[in-house]
Amino acid sequence: MSPRPARRRVAVVGTGAIVTGSHLPALRAHADRTELVAAVDVDPARLDAFRAEAGGGVAGYTSMGAMLDAVRPDLVLVGTPPSLHREQTVAALKAGAWVLCEKPLCLSLAEYDDIAAAEEASGAYASVIFQHRYGSGAAHARDLIASGELGAPLVAHCQTTWHRDAAYYAVPWRGRWATEGGGPTMGHGIHQYDLLLHLLGPWAEVRAMASRLVHDTESEDVSTALVRFRNGALATVVNSVLSPHEVSRVRVDCADATVELTHLYGHRNDDWTYTPARHVAAERAAAWRTPAADVPSSHTAQLGAVLDAWDTGTRPPGSGPGARDTLEFAAALYKAAFTGRPVLAGEIAPGDPFHSAMHGDHPDWAPEERA
User: What is the C-alpha to C-alpha distance for residues 206 and 63, in angstroms, rounded to an integer?
Assistant: 41
Within this chain, do residues 294 and 215 fall inside the same structural domain, yes or no? yes
Residues facing 86 on adjacent strands: none
Strands 126-128 and 98-101, bridge-based pairing: parallel
The answer to whether residues 19 and 44 touch, using CB atoms and an 8 Å cutoff, is: no
Do 160 and 257 lie in one domain? The reply is: yes
pTM: 0.96
Q: What is the pLDDT of residues 73-130, one digit of tens each?
A: 999 999 999 999 999 999 999 999 999 999 999 999 999 999 999 999 999 999 999 9
Q: What is the pLDDT of residues 329-356, one digit of tens each?
A: 999 999 999 999 999 999 999 999 999 9
Percent of the chain with pLDDT over 90: 95
Q: What is the pLDDT of residue 5?
A: 61
Q: What was the pLDDT predicted at 369?
A: 61
Interatomic CA distance for residues 269 and 133, integer angstroms: 13
Selection from 93, 264, 112 nearest residue 181 by Cα: 112
Task: Indicate which CATH number applies to the domain containing 27.
Answer: 3.40.50.720
Number of domains in the chain: 2
What whole-number distance in Å separates Cα of residue 336 and Cα of residue 329? Answer: 10
317 domain-assigned: no
Least confident of 2-11, 218-227, 355-364: 2-11
Listed residues 104, 131, 158: the one ending a domain: 131
Whether residue 202 sits in one domain with residue 262:
yes
The boundaries of the domain holding residue 200 are 134-301+324-355
Q: Are residues 240 and 350 in the same domain?
A: yes
Kind of pairing, strands 242-254 and 257-263? antiparallel
22 and 151 belong to one structural domain: no
Q: What is the CATH number of the domain that holds 256?
A: 3.30.360.10
Assess if residue 257 is contained within a domain.
yes
